[in-house]
Amino acid sequence: MRRPYYPKMKATWWLQRRPYTLFMLRELSAVFVAGYALLLLVLGIKVYKGGDTLAAYLDFLDTPGMLALHAIIFIFAVLHTVTWFNSFAKAVPIWRGEERLAPWKVTLPNYVALLVLSALVALLFLV
């Protein structure tokens, strides 16, 4: 008579192998990216209102805690960007006859676009 054993996944499955941990960090990165969008949105509102309210918010952003948070957000934003760009070629295969374009050729334009757009934003706000 059959009596199969049904294993259960542990809640800590994502800590058991590095690729799973990286996957969870990638998923978590979305929270930090969304959090930064929120910070920017609030900044936009403060800029619109101007005056003391803007100065107070800028002082708040200048605290050590917020600077540390920005450093963490930056690391997660890089992880988010790199994993997204590297996944892109898998989802969008480009064919030339019988040959599939090498994944790096599909990925590279994303990085170029990122650099160009980042430079444009930097020009707009920093120069």
Q: Does 13 bind another protein (CB under 8 A)?
A: yes
Stretch that binds another protein, among 32-40, 53-61, 94-102, 119-127 (CB under 8 A): 94-102
CA-based nearest residue to 86, from 26, 34, 31: 26
Rounded to the nearest 10 degrees, the angle between the axes of helix 64-91 and helix 103-126 is 150
For another protein, give the closer residue by CB, 5 or 125. Answer: 5
Cβ 38 to another protein, closest distance in Å?
Answer: 24
x-or-dash pattern for another protein, window 20-59, by CB under 8 A? Answer: x--x---x--------------------------------
- C-alpha neighbours within 13 Å on the C-beta side of residue 88: 18
Structure tokens, 36: 């930064």
Kindly list the distances between the CA atom of residue 110 and the CA atoms of 14, 32, 33, 73, 84, in Å, as whole numbers in the listed order: 29, 21, 18, 21, 10
For another protein, give the closer residue by CB, 23 or 74. Answer: 23
Q: How many residues bind another protein (CB under 8 A)?
A: 26
Question: Is-contact 111 85, C-beta < 8 A?
Answer: yes
Under the rule (CB under 8 A), what is the footprint of another protein? 1-7, 9, 13-14, 16-17, 19-20, 23, 27, 87, 90-93, 95, 97-100
